[in-house]
Structure 1
Amino acid sequence: MDFSVKRDGAEEQIVDLFTATFTASEGADEGDLIGSLVSNLLGNTPQNDIYVFTAVDEGEMIGGAIFSRLTYADDPRSVFILSPMAVATDRHGQGIGQALLKYALAVLRDNGVDVAITYGDPAFYGKVGFLPLDEDTAAAPLPLSFPEGWIGQSLTDEPLIPLKGNCTCVAALNEPAIW
């Protein structure tokens, strides 16, 4: 299995992976929503505001994790949010998601990212170091429908201290239906 942090020429495969995975787990409407989100992220997010990580096994795209920039108005730290992430349905339970996330977090750390945040299952993401956040520690860019899923971690040797100021996300994530 190969992990990479590039996407050139693989955009269609990436969108297809996310659409199929979310359709299988959440239904066609969610699959379409997430597929459109991924297409929008890949096509409209400035290069310095996005990291696209993939897992490929024997030429098949089996995992993807997209991190995009969060900006806190009064905080100089570099913050990225994981949204969305997918592992091919027939490959669940094989450790691919955790391995992909460990790779991604190491690359982010090596590239000077200070904080990683996500909005998902604390039990799953807790296995790779994500901890619960509250709005005083890290404001979300939009209202959260599932506040328990707001989790993050410091990627530096320092503990995560509260992020200062209002939060904004990239345009593709600035959609209430996602939150």
Structure 2
Amino acid sequence: MIRDLTLNDFGCLKEVFYNSFSEDEAPLTYDVITKIICTKAQPPSLCLGYEEGDKLVGAVAFSPIYFEDNPQMSAYILAPLAVHIVHQKKGIATKLIDKSKEKLSDLGVDVLLVYGDPNYYGRYGFNVELAKQFIPPYPLEYEFGWQAMMLNSKDIKKDIYKFSCVKALSDASLW
């Protein structure tokens, strides 16, 4: 079952993130998702969890980004995504991403962004070429991992769009 995440999920989220990421990455990614859940962004962030039985085993967060020169465009960034290692390879991440795309599309969001493995996120429709039009707030350590996708047919031309993020992602070390 997919449901919205709340402050009450922090203990379960810690177990998911510390059993999904390396010892170095787990505290950082767990910190990001808890901060995003706590943030009262406008428009609001989308944080979903996947339960198997009554146990939370996966989570994803999409937070809004803000364009300096085009406030009419609506976009979100996926960060982070985690599935407990015992539950990986069961399609849980796919279900979380697909449900998120559906919800964000229904809200009229134009663009989704992600910073991660192109081989992994490419299967969900993210691509590197489109992402070149979106300039993140910090230099990227791995430029090949920057990806974007359109959720609708909005014409964004070939313009370049600079943006800022919610506070939880406003840390150069995450980029």
Q: Same fold (TM over 0.5)?
A: yes
CA drift of 1:166 comes to: 2.5
> Equivalent residue for 2:105?
109
- Cα separation, 1, equivalents of 2:79 and 2:12: 17
Measured against aligned partners, the alpha-carbon deviations of 1:68-87 in whole angstroms (never above 9, x if no partner) come to 11111111211000001001
> Equivalent residue for 2:30?
35
1:44 aligns with 2:39: yes
Given the alignment, which residue of 39, 58, 63 partners 1:63?
58
Q: Identical aligned pairs, as a percentage?
A: 25
Query: Normalised by the size of structure 2, how large is the TM-score?
Result: 0.89
- Cα separation, 1, equivalents of 2:109 and 2:131: 20
Task: State how many pairs are aligned.
Answer: 174
Query: Normalised by the size of structure 1, how large is the TM-score?
Result: 0.87
Which secondary structure state, in structure 2, belongs to the residue aligned with residue 141 of structure 1? coil
Unaligned residue ranges in structure 1 (runs of 5+): none
Q: What are the within-5 Å matches in structure 2 for residues 155-174 of structure 1?
A: 155-158=151-154, 161-162=157-158, 164-174=160-170
- Cα separation, 2, equivalents of 1:134 and 1:153: 7
> Equivalent residue for 1:81?
77
> Equivalent residue for 1:118?
114
- Cα separation, 2, equivalents of 1:172 and 1:110: 25
Code of the aligned partner of 2:146: W
Cα gap change, 1:93 to 1:71, in 2 (>3 Å) = same
CA drift of 1:173 comes to: 0.4
- Cα separation, 1, equivalents of 2:7 and 2:102: 21
> Equivalent residue for 1:11?
10
- Cα separation, 1, equivalents of 2:159 and 2:9: 34
The RMSD of aligned alpha carbons is 2.0
CA drift of 1:48 comes to: 3.0
